[in-house]
Structure 1
Amino acid sequence: MSDLLWQKSGVETDQRIMRFLAGDDVVLDREFFLFDIEASKAHVEGLARIDIVTAQESADLVRELEQLGADFRSAAFVLDDRFEDGHSAIEARLIERLGDAGRKVHSGRSRNDQVLVASRLWLKAKLLELSSICAAVANICIYRAGRDVLPMPGYTHLQRAVASSTAMWFAAFAEAFIDNAWRARQALALIDANPLGTAAGYGVNLPLDREYTTRKLGFARMQISPIYAQLSRGKFEMAALDALAAAVLDLRRLAWDLSLFTTAEFAFVRLPAQYTTGSSIMPNKRNPDVIELMRASYASVAAARTEIEQLLSLPSGYQRDLQASKGAIFHGFHRGLDALALLPDLLAKLEWDAPRMRAAIEPSMYATDVAIEAAIAGVPFR
């Protein structure tokens, strides 16, 4: 790790302690790095509006930030253990290229301010992605509900209960994922608040143009209280994970259905070949590994939420404990969205075995219909 930007003269750092303090920040900040650059550009332009940097310095800083983003995308710049974290890497690069102008970029900010706004922007992007995937799943389910109207058994308590259809099955998940898309947008509306300029929870004695940075970064509103900006960290992440969890819970139940329906005992469904794998020991088998890992994905989302919830047993203000929330949201959204992203194609391509499903419908499954018809005719239902 290179010299620390906050290093105090006469104080020797212990590398073991520094590794512990940095944790996985350098690796995790690769995920948030481009959002940190965008927020830094807005901050620089805001500083120019209050004459902390000159117009020329602002133009130079924004140019170098844009170049850093391009270099990061092309891998010409690598965020690695030369740096403590992504924020330090940005500042070091600007100082290297622009000298004293680069040293001004941190005016009116803290590293906590930086991670808070970068992770907030990242969460907004992930919730938009979640809403889009859920809408795609709902659209495919609606399409197939109208196209595929095949009789199949309906189950309660895992027992054959009534006659149902593939249209009813698809329609159920269509409605579920419409709600999931709506819930993602609700979570997005909640967290769409700009924390840039709140520093470490007490603001700074500068007339920062926070209205400008709010517009520039595309936030719907501004977080007013610097202390609340810190209180919202973790709470907003949990709200985003709750929206993700709602969709992944439905994915888990859908995957359970397909796990059962693909067994030889049911044999109602044939999965696309690319969604199965061969057994390493049983050459007769094709295993539904994808839907099994879809089922498992909820565990990662639930674990992420639990990790953040446990971090929040804190007093008000900023605490370093919150650093651990970055890993939680990264792993939760990574596993959850990766699983959901495979679902539209799977639903579009799975095939029903119509004769097998029709053969599974037996006379007793019409008992409820017979009872209802008798009730309409005047026979007491009981």
Structure 2
Amino acid sequence: MSDLLWQKQGVRTDERIMRFLAGDDVVLDREFFLHDVEASQAHVGGLANIGLLDAEEAAALVRELDALAADFRSGAFVLDERYEDGHSAIEARLIERLGDAGRKVHTGRSRNDQILVATRLWLKARLRELQAHCRAAAEVCLERAAREALPLPGYTHLQRAVVSSTALWFAGFAESFIDDARRARDTLAWIDANPLGTAAGYGVNLPLDRAHTTQALGFARLQVNPVYAQLSRGKFEIGALEALGAALLDLRRLAWDLSLFTTAEFGFVRLPPEYTTGSSIMPNKRNPDVVELMRASYASVAAARSEIEHLLSLPSGYQRDLQFSKGAIFHGFHRGLPALELLPDLLARLEWNEAAMRAAIEPSMYATDVAIEQAAAGVPFREAYRRAAEAAAEAGQGRTPEASLAARVSAGAAADLRLDELRRRLGEF
């Protein structure tokens, strides 16, 4: 490991302790590294604006940081165990190439605000991805809801209940993912605040140009108070994970439907062959593994959220416990986003088995229609309910799924899906 930024003379470092302290930080920091470089460039500009770097030094630092980013992307520079973390690697590289100019780059900042700003930039990028995936899923659902309205049994308690339709099913998930996209957008707006310049949580005795770094890094506003900057660590990560988790909860329920609908017992859905796998021992099997892993993805996000929440049993100010929050958010987002990325194509290509769905619609599923019709004709609903229950087996006489769906005229129901309203909401962001 290279020289430590905080090393004191006369104090011997124990390699076992250093390995424990560093943990897998240097590996995890690869995820943040380019954001850390970007923030370092903004910081250099801010130092130049207040006269702590001259124009030549600032230009050299920016050029060297550009070169470092290019080397990292190409693999010419590897963030590895030579360094304690990504922050120290950046500083070591600048000192190696630029000498005293490199030694000036950390003026007025701490690794605390470095990790805060890198995390914030990373989360903003992930939330934009989340919003895009949710929008794409919603768009496919709206398109299929408009194109096809096949009769589909509607279930409560996993028991056949009423006549539903594929259009109603798709429209329901469309609205879910529209709300999820909105939540991703709103969470991004909430965390879109620049913590750079708060140092270790108490500010510094320099007139740092925080307005410059806010604008240079594309933040919507300044995170003003340095104590709050530290208090927000973990809090903002949980908020981002909750936005991801909301979408994955909807994905989990959708995946559960598909898991059931693809069974031989239901037989309502055929998945694209690319979304299934075979058994290692049973030649007859095609398994919906992709759907099952989509269903499982929420668990990683819930675990990540729980881990960070437990880390936050802390007083104000920075505590080293927060180092462990990085791995949690990476694990949650790396499991959740790929699952959502696959969803639009799956939804676009799944096929309904109309014959199986029609065969599953039994006469008793029209009983609710009968009760509502009698109530509309003036029979007290409880009396209409009793009559329909007594004659449930005959409720379907002379009725068709199409007529049942056409009569479902309440706003949002099968005969009035309000797809234009959903498209309008999706177009708002």
TM-score (normalizing by structure 1): 0.99
Question: Which residue of structure 2 lines up, in the alignment, with residue 47 of structure 1?
Answer: 47
Instruction: After TM superposition, list the pairs within 5 Å mapping 1:172-211 onto structure 2.
Output: 172-211=172-211
Q: 1:23 Cα deviation (Å)? A: 1.1
Question: Which residue of structure 2 lines up, in the alignment, with residue 252 of structure 1?
Answer: 252
Question: Which residue of structure 2 lines up, in the alignment, with residue 24 of structure 1?
Answer: 24
Q: 1:112 Cα deviation (Å)? A: 1.2
Q: 1:239 Cα deviation (Å)? A: 0.8
1:216 correspondence with 2:211: no
Q: 1:7 Cα deviation (Å)? A: 1.6
Question: Which residue of structure 1 lines up, in the alignment, with residue 422 of structure 2?
Answer: none
Instruction: After TM superposition, list the pairs within 5 Å mapping 1:78-157 onto structure 2.
Output: 78-157=78-157
Once residues 235 and 209 of structure 2 are traced to their aligned partners in structure 1, the CA distance between those partners, rounded to angstroms, is: 26
Once residues 350 and 320 of structure 2 are traced to their aligned partners in structure 1, the CA distance between those partners, rounded to angstroms, is: 48
Letter in 1 for 2:30: R
Question: Which residue of structure 1 lines up, in the alignment, with residue 75 of structure 2?
Answer: 75
Letter in 1 for 2:131: S
**Residue aligned with 2:83, SS:** coil
Q: 1:5 Cα deviation (Å)? A: 2.4
Question: Which residue of structure 2 lines up, in the alignment, with residue 229 of structure 1?
Answer: 229
Question: Which residue of structure 2 lines up, in the alignment, with residue 57 of structure 1?
Answer: 57
Letter in 2 for 1:99: G
1:320-353 deviation per Cα after TM superposition (whole angstroms, max 9, x unaligned): 1111111111111111111111101110111111
Once residues 2 and 227 of structure 2 are traced to their aligned partners in structure 1, the CA distance between those partners, rounded to angstroms, is: 32
Question: Which residue of structure 2 lines up, in the alignment, with residue 333 of structure 1?
Answer: 333
Letter in 2 for 1:98: L
**Residue aligned with 1:155, SS:** strand
Letter in 2 for 1:251: L
Once residues 80 and 148 of structure 1 are traced to their aligned partners in structure 2, the CA distance between those partners, rounded to angstroms, is: 54
Once residues 71 and 366 of structure 1 are traced to their aligned partners in structure 2, the CA distance between those partners, rounded to angstroms, is: 67
1:108-159 deviation per Cα after TM superposition (whole angstroms, max 9, x unaligned): 1111111110000000111111111101110000001011211110000100
Letter in 1 for 2:187: A
Letter in 2 for 1:28: L
1:353-373 deviation per Cα after TM superposition (whole angstroms, max 9, x unaligned): 111111111111010001111
Specify the structure having the higher radius of gyration (Cα).
2
**Residue aligned with 1:39, SS:** helix
Once residues 129 and 368 of structure 2 are traced to their aligned partners in structure 1, the CA distance between those partners, rounded to angstroms, is: 43
Q: 1:2 Cα deviation (Å)? A: 2.0
1:196-235 deviation per Cα after TM superposition (whole angstroms, max 9, x unaligned): 0001101111110001110110101101110000001111
Instruction: After TM superposition, list the pairs within 5 Å mapping 1:332-351 onto structure 2.
Output: 332-351=332-351
Letter in 1 for 2:70: A
Question: Which residue of structure 2 lines up, in the alignment, with residue 284 of structure 1?
Answer: 284
1:263-282 deviation per Cα after TM superposition (whole angstroms, max 9, x unaligned): 01001111111111100011
**Residue aligned with 1:72, SS:** helix
Once residues 78 and 273 of structure 1 are traced to their aligned partners in structure 2, the CA distance between those partners, rounded to angstroms, is: 39
Letter in 2 for 1:52: L
Letter in 2 for 1:250: D
Once residues 285 and 96 of structure 1 are traced to their aligned partners in structure 2, the CA distance between those partners, rounded to angstroms, is: 59
Q: 1:376 Cα deviation (Å)? A: 1.1
**Residue aligned with 1:162, SS:** strand
Following TM superposition, where does structure 1 have runs of at least 4 consecutive aligned residues deviating by more than 3 angstroms? none
Q: Could you list the runs of 5+ residues in structure 2 that have no partner in the other structure?
A: 383-429
Q: In the comparison of the two structures, how many residue pairs are matched? A: 382
Question: Which residue of structure 2 lines up, in the alignment, with residue 359 of structure 1?
Answer: 359
**Residue aligned with 2:234, SS:** helix
**Residue aligned with 1:4, SS:** coil
Once residues 163 and 73 of structure 2 are traced to their aligned partners in structure 1, the CA distance between those partners, rounded to angstroms, is: 54
Letter in 1 for 2:284: N
**Residue aligned with 1:255, SS:** helix
**Residue aligned with 1:154, SS:** strand
Letter in 2 for 1:288: P
1:181-210 deviation per Cα after TM superposition (whole angstroms, max 9, x unaligned): 000111111100000000110111111000
Letter in 1 for 2:269: V
Question: Which residue of structure 2 lines up, in the alignment, with residue 263 of structure 1?
Answer: 263
Letter in 2 for 1:141: C
Once residues 76 and 147 of structure 1 are traced to their aligned partners in structure 2, the CA distance between those partners, rounded to angstroms, is: 51
Q: 1:24 Cα deviation (Å)? A: 1.1
Letter in 2 for 1:86: G
Question: Which residue of structure 2 lines up, in the alignment, with residue 160 of structure 1?
Answer: 160
**Residue aligned with 1:178, SS:** helix
Q: 1:297 Cα deviation (Å)? A: 0.5
Letter in 2 for 1:186: D
Once residues 121 and 345 of structure 1 are traced to their aligned partners in structure 2, the CA distance between those partners, rounded to angstroms, is: 29
Once residues 144 and 81 of structure 1 are traced to their aligned partners in structure 2, the CA distance between those partners, rounded to angstroms, is: 51
Once residues 2 and 49 of structure 1 are traced to their aligned partners in structure 2, the CA distance between those partners, rounded to angstroms, is: 31
**Residue aligned with 1:187, SS:** helix
How large is the Cα RMSD of the aligned pairs? Answer: 0.7
Q: 1:374 Cα deviation (Å)? A: 0.9
Letter in 1 for 2:200: A
Question: Which residue of structure 2 lines up, in the alignment, with residue 239 of structure 1?
Answer: 239
Instruction: After TM superposition, list the pairs within 5 Å mapping 1:287-326 onto structure 2.
Output: 287-326=287-326
Once residues 321 and 190 of structure 2 are traced to their aligned partners in structure 1, the CA distance between those partners, rounded to angstroms, is: 23
